[in-house]
Structure 1
Amino acid sequence: MLKYGYLAGLITPVWLVIGVAIAGSLYPGYSHLNQAMSELGALGAPTHELSPLINNFPLGVLFVVFGIAVFAVFKGSALARSSGVLIVLHGVASLCTGYFSCDVGCGLEHPSDSQNLHNLSGMVMFLTLLLASTLWIYLATRVLGLKWFAWFSLACTLVALLVLPLMGQAVAAGEGFGLYQRINYGASILWVGVFAWVLKPMSSTH
């Protein structure tokens, strides 16, 4: 059963790219460079109902399945298992961001309760994968004997962190946020895909 968990992790980056591309193509005038991914599912958006169905919900399930596989395979390391729990929590938060839509345009002034819950879930999504990749900076060499994966985890963690100020500047400037958000989340979800690829050979031994 572990191989299905690793497969779930492997396909998450591809699923995200395809899902966002499809939703964006059905949203007239949508800008991947300037608009947040959350705007695809915002109230009043032409893809309000579709976007969660092809993005947040299936991705949430994929993360949960992969996180359970990570938890199951590392019986001898509490830290490694905790990274699996973090990935599961990321999946649950993804489901919540789909269920609780942001307001039209996802503006930060006078947000509705739904948008507040959406934003909170988005923060949990960011922190859980950031913490998971940070753990594997330490664990990769000690648990898997893979120094390159430790460096890769460090690179993905740093990219996700360093782009945060650019996201803030983009909000103030009114342009570029979509690009920086995609770099931020892309680094984390790429880490998930590579992590799943690293673990995939272990499915034949468990």
Structure 2
Amino acid sequence: MRKFAFSLLILGEVIYLALICIGGVYYPGYDHGRQYISELGAKGTVTGWAVSWLGFLPSGLLITAFCLIAAFDLRRHVLSAISLCLLAWYAAGLIASALYPCNFECGHATMTLSQWLHDLMSGTGYLTGIVGVFLAGYAARGSRAGWLHPLGIACAIIGAIGLSGVMVDIPYGGLSQRALELVMGIFLLAYGWAFATGRLVGIGGKIA
């Protein structure tokens, strides 16, 4: 089951990367440095339907499934289970991006219900994701994957910096978001590998 869960995570991350790369090719004039990923699935875009339903939705479902399976497997270690639930909420933000696409170019001139729900899910998802990365790494410090602890700290710090760039909407907000998504993906894959290979079995039973 652990290896199956890890395969779901890998597939989800591959789909997510593909939607960013392929969507950017077919979106006229798209700038990865300045534009947000959600703009690829926004209302009124040529890539909107495909990115939302063939990209955001399946990748979100797959990554969420991994987090929930891992949380259930590690349920005896409360901190690990909580951190994975927080990461599951981050992944659920991708599902929300499909169900509640943002306005064209993710503009806020007119705040629609879909835009509001999109911002709410994505914003809270990024926050819980960063906290989840930090806690998951901290919880693994006494296991055979103790290296997840410094990795979690580094990814959480970079993620927080990236999120701050998104929140203040700097000119290169797209680059900030990609830095945030990159470290989230790196940590999840590293954690997933440790989970699949049994390296989260702890010293003194710290990780069940």
TM-score, length basis structure 1? 0.88
Equivalent of 1:176 in 172, 186, 192:
172
Checking the alignment, whether the CA contact within 8 Å between 2:145 and 2:194 is kept in structure 1 is: no
Q: CA deviation at 1:29?
A: 0.9
| Deviation string, structure 1 residues 58-94 (Cα, Å, up to 9, x no partner) | 1111122201221122142111111222233233332
Residue 186 of structure 1 is matched in structure 2 by: 182
Residue 31 (structure 1) aligned with residue 31 (structure 2): yes
Checking the alignment, whether the CA contact within 8 Å between 1:10 and 1:192 is kept in structure 2 is: no
- What is the percent sequence identity of the aligned residues? 23
State how 1:120-135 maps to structure 2 within 5 Å: 120-135=120-135
Write out the 4+ residue segments of structure 1 that deviate beyond 6 Å after TM superposition. none
State how 1:132-151 maps to structure 2 within 5 Å: 132-142=132-142, 144-151=143-150
Checking the alignment, whether the CA contact within 8 Å between 2:166 and 2:176 is kept in structure 1 is: yes
Greater RCO, CA 8 A, separation 6+ = 1
Point out where structure 2 has 5 or more consecutive residues left out of the alignment. Answer: 202-207
User: In 1, Cα distance between the equivalents of 2:66 and 2:164?
Assistant: 30
Residue 163 (structure 1) aligned with residue 159 (structure 2): no
User: In 2, Cα distance between the equivalents of 1:103 and 1:177?
Assistant: 17
Q: What code does the residue aligned with 2:198 have?
A: M
Larger deviation, residues 71-80 vs 85-94: 85-94
Point out where structure 1 has 5 or more consecutive residues left out of the alignment. Answer: none
TM-score, length basis structure 2? 0.87
State the Cα RMSD in Å: 2.1
Q: CA deviation at 1:112?
A: 1.1
User: In 2, Cα distance between the equivalents of 1:163 and 1:64?
Assistant: 22
Checking the alignment, whether the CA contact within 8 Å between 2:3 and 2:196 is kept in structure 1 is: yes
Aligned residues: 201
Checking the alignment, whether the CA contact within 8 Å between 1:41 and 1:51 is kept in structure 2 is: yes
User: In 1, Cα distance between the equivalents of 2:94 and 2:149?
Assistant: 26
Residue 66 of structure 1 is matched in structure 2 by: 66
